[in-house]
Amino acid sequence: MSNYTKTGKADGARTELHDKLGLTGAEISVNTLPAGASVPFVHAHKENEEIYFIISGKGKAVVDGEAIVLSEGDWIRIAPQGKRQFFASPDSPMSYICIQVKAGSLTEYTAADAIV
């Protein structure tokens, strides 16, 4: 059995990598909203925080009623209880990666977790 899993380029408006990569500690999705479009619902989470990276384009996130302007290269972290919805700018599609992980679960990282 291999110690890695590889998948190809994301296709379509949303690609979830949980099943494609056999993820056990996170959910990662690659998303594209056409110009003027939005995620069709407001949502929060019970346990998971979400980290978003804007790959290209521009738009906004509305978190607990506050609009946050987003553009290529921006990162945003949203706590589980934050009610969120994403919108692409009327004149630009917006592509982004969403990483979803259990809040408070990170105990070690980078060099502290390495076995040399």
Residue 38 token pair: 């939005």
The pLDDT of 65-74, averaged and rounded, is: 98
CB 105 within 8 A of CB 47: no
Q: How confident is the model at residue 36 (pLDDT cuts 50, 70, 90)?
A: very high
The pLDDT of 86-95, averaged and rounded, is: 97
Burial (CB < 10 A; 0-12, 13-18, 19+), residue 110, is: exposed
Those residues whose C-beta lies under 8 Å from the C-beta of residue 85, and which sit 6 or more positions away, are 38, 39, 41, 42, 43, 61, 62
The pLDDT of 5-22, averaged and rounded, is: 86
pLDDT for the residue 111:
83
Residue 97: is its pLDDT beyond 80? yes
pLDDT for the residue 61:
98
Q: How confident is the model at residue 39 (pLDDT cuts 50, 70, 90)?
A: very high
